Structure formats: C-alpha cells, structure tokens
Structure 1
C-alpha cells in the first residue's frame, strides 16, 4: 500500500501538521458467475464527494452503483457494476484533476497507445 503525505495548517496552533493518506485504489472483483464489479476506495481523502461521484459513474457507463460503509474505516467504498476501471481513471484524472501517481489499480487495465 502506497501512502501520500499531505501538509495541513492547524488553525488553532498555527502549526503545520503532516499527515499520511492512502492512494485511491481501484480493484475488480468477480461475483457469482462471470459478473464483475469495480471497487473504488479512499475517494473521500482526496475531497471527492462519493454521492456525486457515484451518480456520475451511473450516467457515464449506464451501470448500477452502490456506496458501501467499510467496517473499521473512516471512508466509504464505491461499487460500480462491471469492469469500469478505464472510465473511473479518466473521470478522476480529467474531471477531478487527481494526478495519476495517486491512483492505484489502473495499470493493468489501461490500454497502451500504439506508436
């Protein structure tokens, strides 16, 4: 698991606080039969509203989305019907302007461009 460090100014003590946050993780899991779902974790750490994000995924790929509460975790997980890693990666990098180095799990699903 890779971590990113973020610097936050504490307004009470006027000191910089350094905090480590996890990268956004995308995984594709198999469900019953040949059904796949895409799971996206740690969106809220980067300021992404999961309700808005799941609605954009619903309309963008015409698939069902669910927001799951993960036990022993502060943030929620977005579950998208089907293998939607390329769409989610493009949405996060283009619309939400999150650099690719903070997103994990897209490496095997993004097609390499031909020269």
Structure 2
C-alpha cells in the first residue's frame, strides 16, 4: 500500500470496481450464452431428438417377434422347473407333472 492510497482513497477503490465490473460482465456473457444455447436447442429439438433416437436404436436394436417369443418360452420353462424343484420334497407327483409341463414348452 503506497502513500497515494491513503491520500487519494478513490484510486484504491478503482481496483475493486474493476473486479465487480468484470464479474458482472462475465455473468452477463454466461447468461447470454445460455440464452443462445437454449434457443438453438428449442429450434432444433426435432432434429436433435431424431439423432438421439437413431443413436439409441443403434445401441439397442429392437428384438424380433420370434426372439420375444423364444425369451418368453424360456422364462416359462425356467419358472416351471424352479417350481418343480421347490415342490419335489413335499409333493413328488406335482413335481413330476411340472417337469413334464416344462419339457413340453
């Protein structure tokens, strides 16, 4: 701190005002960028959503009807086998019937 800062306090406050002005300017620039990006997003939203959907489908393609049927049958077969294994000790006849049903699916 120099002697001039004591004699002329206004010069010391200029540095503070420069910081405040630069902070306000930076905030306004950031806000302007956000406004522009938001307007671009809303303008091109159909295009951007189409690109996102195409990217999603390329990562996770839709399964065919045959694949869905095969998965459903596999789940049914595994469920019947699990039920047969659970009831094997308490009801052997029921377990045998469930095993036969699972073999038919």
Question: Please, what TM-score do these two structures have when normalized by structure 1?
Answer: 0.21
Q: By percentage of residues, which structure has more helix?
A: 2
Q: By percentage of residues, which structure has more strand?
A: 1
| Higher RCO (C-alpha under 8 Å, 6+ residues apart) | 1
Structure with greater Cα Rg? 2
